[in-house]
């Protein structure tokens, strides 16, 4: 006997959890599509040289890498951005630019599982490639807001800043050479606090530069004041300043105005962003970190092609978001999987049972036939365990007469002798919340 264990950091998804995950993915997909984003997919396994590119850093240690049957050096993807860059380099000439894609799929990282992280998790990425404009920057922000609204997540804080403006500040301070170290420090602000960041900055530059950086990354009373402060410290107007102002103006005139916060401490660390950057926090659960992050990059696929492909995008960490919504008890409430159970009294009646189930399914009901002629109490217990609200009983008499007995399993109300053709109508009267129009609304049932 082999012990049925799974690898550390990996999970089985039981039906309740998987239904919710599929439901969230379905909601997100609808929002992405409503903006004209189209789905793509890429292989889970790629050449390691593609995935690691120049290499270096954490990724090299975390990647699942091995030699395949043909002696090729291959690896499982660790994000959806690198495969997308490779995809665009290979296919940009076949695609209408600007190109808007979404990609929801599994990625793999051999991370330390102590911190409650999974080694297999789902990312949802969306990007607009082939254009560098205020409209595209704003659209990603808009899409982030609409995604969380569609998920029913209130109390989100969409934090934006601009990496170009930050670079402008470092240029003015004459410490552009220390950008990497400064970014690394600022990115840790939430974790280590302002004092430690100040210490680190003073070690990198002079006191005045440290104070200017700390003043720059400080959000003020409102976005307008923060923006003016940033521009003043960065040395005045610039293309970066104009872009950030443009995005904020569009946000102010939109319905999500209240959720957008200009937060200059957002830098996205060492990532490859060059323009606007985004992070998203749940106001009631800031400690889980950003549940949707992204920004603008001026050269997506430079490792694989000479074609310059600027873009802007963001990524939702679905597992972290799920965990967060669960902790806040804000996961979508899903109705019963099965709405109608056709009880099985005796095998002779199976044909009628399956026929009625088929008629109801054609009418949009989710129906199952109890699969054997067990005693009725056992079948009722099964219905209760599964939370099935409606029942149908067909015995020899009903089969003969072409009728069925209906049972509301919630109230134990029974309606006998309904002609087969009228069952669907009668069930709708009993349980209007499962009617076709209700089903065609938001709840696709998964």
Least Å distance, CB 252 to a copy of itself, is 9
DSSP 272-313: S--SEEEEEEETT-GGG--SEEEEEES-TTTTT-SS---EEE
DSSP 164-212: HHHHHHHHHTT-GGGHHHHHHHHHTHHHHHHHHHHHHHHHHS-HHHHHH
* CB-nearer residue toward a copy of itself: 13 or 270: 13
Contact 292, 322 (CB under 8 A): no
Query: What's the token pair of residue 373?
Result: 């002629």
Least Å distance, CB 59 to a copy of itself, is 13
Binding-site residues sit at: 79-81, 109, 123, 127, 268, 272-273
* Crossing angle (nearest 10°) for helices 15-34 and 134-150: 150
H or E element in which residue 316 lies = strand 311-317
Least Å distance, CB 21 to a copy of itself, is 8
* CB-nearer residue toward a copy of itself: 186 or 262: 262
Of 248, 253, 301, 302, the closest CA to residue 278 belongs to 248
Of 338, 339, 334, the closest CA to residue 428 belongs to 339
Locate tokens 């199976």: which residue? 350
C-alpha to C-alpha distance for 116 and 260, rounded to whole angstroms: 29
Q: How far apart are the first and last CA of the chain?
A: 35
Of 13, 31, 10, the closest CA to residue 21 belongs to 13
Q: Spell 207-245 as b/e; 16+ CB within 10 A means b.
A: eebbebbbebbbbeeebeebbebbbebbeeebebbebbb
Order the strands of the 65-67 sheet from edge to edge.
Answer: 45-47, 73-76, 65-67
The residues pairing with 405 across neighbouring beta strands, listed in sequence order, are: 393
Binding-site residues for L-histidine sit at: 79-81, 109, 123, 127, 268, 272-273
Least Å distance, CB 314 to a copy of itself, is 15
Least Å distance, CB 105 to a copy of itself, is 9
Order the strands of the 340-344 sheet from edge to edge.
Answer: 367-369, 340-344, 390-394, 403-408, 413-419
* CB-nearer residue toward a copy of itself: 174 or 252: 252
If one counts every other C-beta atom within 10 angstroms of the C-beta of residue 54, the result is 6
Least Å distance, CB 409 to a copy of itself, is 14
Least Å distance, CB 271 to a copy of itself, is 19
Least Å distance, CB 285 to a copy of itself, is 25
What is the DSSP pairing of strand 45-47 with strand 120-129?
A: unpaired
Query: What's the token pair of residue 304?
Result: 């694989």
* CB-nearer residue toward a copy of itself: 303 or 323: 303
Query: What's the token pair of residue 171?
Result: 């240029």
Least Å distance, CB 129 to a copy of itself, is 11
């Amino acid at each position: 006997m082999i012990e049925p264990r799974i690898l550390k950091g990996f999970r089985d998804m039981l039906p309740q959890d998987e239904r919710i995950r599929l439901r969230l993915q379905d909601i997100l997909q609808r929002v992405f599509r409503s903006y004209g984003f189209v789905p793509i997919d890429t292989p889970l396994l790629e050449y390691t040289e593609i995935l690691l590119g120049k290499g270096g850093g954490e990724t090299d240690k975390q990647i699942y890498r091995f030699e395949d049957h043909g002696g090729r050096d291959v690896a499982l993807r660790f994000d959806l951005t690198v495969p997308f860059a490779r995809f665009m380099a290979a296919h940009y000439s076949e695609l209408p630019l600007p190109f808007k894609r979404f990609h929801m799929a599994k990625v793999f990282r051999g991370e330390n599982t102590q911190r409650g992280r999974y080694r297999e998790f789902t990312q949802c990425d969306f990007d607009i490639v082939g254009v560098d404009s205020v409209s595209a920057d704003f659209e990603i922000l808009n899409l982030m807001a609409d995604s969380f609204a569609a998920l029913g997540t209130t109390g989100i804080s969409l934090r934006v800043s601009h990496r170009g403006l930050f670079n402008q500040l470092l240029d003015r301070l004459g410490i552009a050479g220390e950008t990497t170290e400064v970014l690394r420090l600022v990115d840790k602000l939430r974790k280590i606090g302002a004092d430690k960041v100040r210490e680190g900055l003073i070690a990198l530059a002079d006191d005045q530069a440290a104070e200017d950086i700390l003043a720059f990354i400080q959000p003020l009373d409102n976005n307008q004041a923060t923006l003016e402060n940033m521009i003043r410290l960065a040395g005045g107007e610039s293309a970066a300043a104009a872009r950030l102002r443009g995005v904020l103006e569009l946000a102010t005139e939109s319905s999500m105005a209240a959720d957008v916060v200009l937060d200059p401490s957002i830098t996205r660390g060492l990532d490859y962003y060059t323009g606007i950057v985004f992070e998203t926090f749940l106001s009631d659960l800031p400690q889980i970190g950003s549940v949707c992050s992204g920004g603008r990059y001026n050269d997506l696929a430079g490792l694989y092609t000479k074609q310059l492909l600027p873009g802007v995008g963001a990524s939702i960490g679905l597992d972290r978001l799920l965990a967060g919504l669960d902790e806040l008890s804000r996961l979508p409430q899903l109705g019963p999987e099965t709405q109608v159970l056709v009880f099985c009294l005796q095998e002779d009646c199976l044909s009628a049972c399956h026929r009625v189930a088929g008629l109801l399914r054609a009418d949009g009901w989710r129906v199952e036939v109890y699969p054997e002629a067990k005693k009725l109490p056992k079948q009722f217990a099964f219905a209760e365990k599964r939370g099935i609200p409606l029942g149908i009983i067909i015995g020899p008499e009903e089969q003969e007469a072409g009728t069925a007995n209906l049972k509301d399993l919630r109230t134990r109300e029974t309606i006998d002798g309904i002609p087969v053709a009228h069952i669907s109508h009668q069930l709708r009267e009993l349980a209007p919340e499962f009617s076709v129009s209700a089903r065609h609304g938001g709840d696709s049932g998964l």
